[in-house]
Structure 1
Amino acid sequence: MKAVHPYLNFSGNTEEAFAFYQSVFGGEVFGVMRFRDFPDNAMNVPEGDLDKIAHIALPLGQGTVLMGTDALSSLGQTLRMGNNAYIYLEADSAEEAQGLFSALAEGGHTEMPLQRVEWAERYGVCTDKFGVQWMVGYTGDAGQAAAQ
């Protein structure tokens, strides 16, 4: 496995939270995407939420990155203690991503099936049978295309 990162959900104040974390840990915030940045509003986000944070990242040192997003009620997301954090696994290959995702999702719940997305060759979200939330990804060639 390439890396493991904490991924936090916030109720509309992700930008404020990451400014705070940056003041605590230092470093530079990167990878900021607002919902407005997705082509053709692919997620059907209402106008009032388009400037909310879809993704943000802050390095914590030695290859660990704190990541986050705004959970939007307009997309049917209800934030509560217990669903405000995920563990993100960056796999070394598409095959490893598939194996990790399948094993973690067995007996649990799949929120988003493992699939190709704009930022990754494979990406999926699930909750395991113990209630732990996981994001599994393999950036692969999608990450190279996104960087260009």
Structure 2
Amino acid sequence: MNIYPYLNFDGKAEEAMLFYQAILGGQFEGPIGYFGEIPGMELPEDEKTRVMHASLRINDQVKIMASDTSPSMGHRWIKGNHNYISINADSKEEGERVFKGLSEGGKMEMEFQKTFWGAYFGSFEDKFGIGWMVNYDLKPGEE
């Protein structure tokens, strides 16, 4: 299991991540994804270019991930909700176990479920007010 910081921004995620890369080095893991790329999603024009996900690998142990908020989807950037702890599970079962355990008594944002980007993912605020994201990337042939 790996644990990484996940940062939220109000329309500045791409700028911030490029800045962090310029200072810290590293490479982006895949292209930066934008909310406008979500299949079937109706969004205001100004939100289509907001970052849905960016992942900057600094080295083998360090990665910073980020996204922008999407006001039309009910997201509000408030100082204090701009940082999540992201867990990348080693198996779907581990992801389910960790998600279920840590989210107990908390506030659900997205149930742990299969996504269009080839992973199981869920997010929540735990009973102590800490934001968490749990992800499991599907391997070829997995459902």
Instruction: Give yes or no for contact 1:7–1:68 (8 Å, CA) kept in 2.
Output: yes
Quote the Cα distance in structure 2 between the aligned partners of 1:113 and 1:66.
23
Note the residue ranges of structure 2 that are not aligned, 5 or more in a row: none
Match of 1:36 in 2: 36
Residue 68 of structure 1 and its aligned partner are, at CA, apart by: 0.5
Deviates more, 1:72-81 or 1:5-14: 72-81
Aligned pairs (5 A) from 1:39-54? 39-41=39-41, 44-54=42-52
1:76 Cα offset (Å): 1.5
Contact between 1:14 and 1:53, CA under 8 Å: does it hold in 2? yes
SS in 1 for 2:123: strand
- Aligned equivalents of 1:8, 1:130: Cα separation in 2: 18
The worse-fitting range, judged by mean Cα deviation, of 32-41 and 15-24 is 32-41
Q: Which residue of structure 2 lines up, in the alignment, with residue 26 of structure 1?
A: 25
Matches for 1:75-86 after TM superposition, within 5 Å: 75-86=73-84
**Displacement of 1:136 after TM fit?**
0.5
The 1:121/1:69 distance shift into structure 2, 3 A limit, reads closer
Q: How far is 1:28 from its partner?
A: 2.4
| Greater displacement, 120-129 / 105-114 | 120-129
For structure 1, which runs of at least 5 residues remain unmatched after alignment?
none
The 8 Å contact of residues 4 and 64 in structure 1, kept in 2 or not, is answered as no
Residue matched to 1:16:
15
Count of residue pairs the alignment pairs up = 140
Q: Which region of structure 1 is more displaced relative to structure 2, 61-70 or 105-114?
A: 61-70
Residue pair 1:55, 1:68 contacting (<8 A) in 2 also: yes
DSSP-derived class of the 2:27 partner: coil
Q: Distance in 2 between matches of 1:128 and 1:118?
A: 25
- Listed one character per residue, the Cα deviations across residues 86-125 of structure 1 (whole Å, up to 9, x for unaligned) are 1110111111111100110111111101100022442110
Taking structure 2 as the reference length, what is the TM-score of the superposition? 0.90
After TM superposition, the score normalised by the length of structure 1 is: 0.87
Residue number in structure 2 paired with 1:74: 72
**Preserved contact between residue 105 and residue 129 of structure 1 (Cα < 8 Å):** yes
CA root-mean-square deviation: 1.6
Q: Measure the CA separation in 2 of the matches of 1:121 and 1:22.
A: 25
Counterpart Cα distance in 2 of 1:63 and 1:34 = 26
* Residues 121 and 29 of structure 1, relative CA distance in 2, 3 Å threshold: closer
1:118–1:63 CA distance, 2 compared to 1 (3 A): farther
Q: Which residue of 2 aligns with 1:100?
A: 98
Kept after mapping to 1: 8 A contact 2:55/2:66: yes
